[in-house]
Structure 1
Amino acid sequence: MSRRRPAQQSGFSLIELLVVVAIIGIASAAVGLAAYERPSTALRRDADRLVQLFLIAQTEARAGGRPIVWEADERQYRFRRRAPWSPATAYAAVTQAPADRFERDEALRPRAWEAGSVTVRVAPMAELVFNGEWIAAPLNVELSDGRHRIAIHRDTAGMYEVVQ
């Protein structure tokens, strides 16, 4: 009687192949998601940074006693300190006081938008002024890069919220 030897298995089993394909798929998805940055992410980072800078500007205006104005255009935004206004000092403030534009200030220095070209709409006022008042008016700042919009809301308690 001759005994047959079982055939030697060569290659991989179906389960082993499926496990390898699954690992490759998960790794590819992770790399793809890490490499892909949503276009609105830069706009969100700009909004988050502005909330922090608005809080710093408000604190600086309260401590220094001089209003700070936030200005923005499509390429950049900046803060500048405004001289306090009173009838007695109005002429001197306009003619003699140099405008402090925070060029050397690490926090409030002028910055370019991370999202590229950004359109800004401030409501309900025409310009955004931080002053020494402890109760602030509600505020809405809308940022748009042409495809995405994000808003910054401030309530009367001075609390900010970024809404996408």
Structure 2
Amino acid sequence: MSERQTAAKHPVSAMLTGPYGHPFHPVLVTIPIGAWVASFVFDIGSRAAPDASYLVRSSTWLIVIGIAGALVAASVGLLDFFTLPSGTPAFRTGLIHLSLNVAITVAYAGNVLWRGGEADQVGIGPILLSGVSLVALLVSGYLGGKLAFRYGVRVAEEHDQAEGFEPSS
């Protein structure tokens, strides 16, 4: 294993990004993903239910919660990104993953502004923007998985993983 590869497995700061073999970023991304998927479901529900202003408000709050969660997850993920050596496939994948996530978060912020005030249902435009954002989030999640499972970023080294496959005493 190269020194460059080993560096990407260890945290910049265990206190900020999680200890070796236990990164915080994959845990934190569940907040925006869950909030944004739920907001999309509420958006669609607002089109089907009569007087669904409660779904509109809930959806908007879920988007805001997702944005806040994305900012926290991004701060930790950015520190993990700094461990990647430039000029490598892992770095390029990480840069695309990061760029997509920034674009997605900006799109959701724009979505909140587009919605404006109170309404009985979410307009088609914001629903379409949420749908496109979720597709982009799916692509970004695939790239994040590639970083972890293909390139082993912030995943324990194989000799440490091997202890999980040794017979019990």
* Rg (Cα) greater in structure: 1
Which structure has the highest strand share of the two? 1
TM-score (normalizing by structure 2): 0.30
TM-score (normalizing by structure 1): 0.31
Which structure has the highest helix share of the two? 2
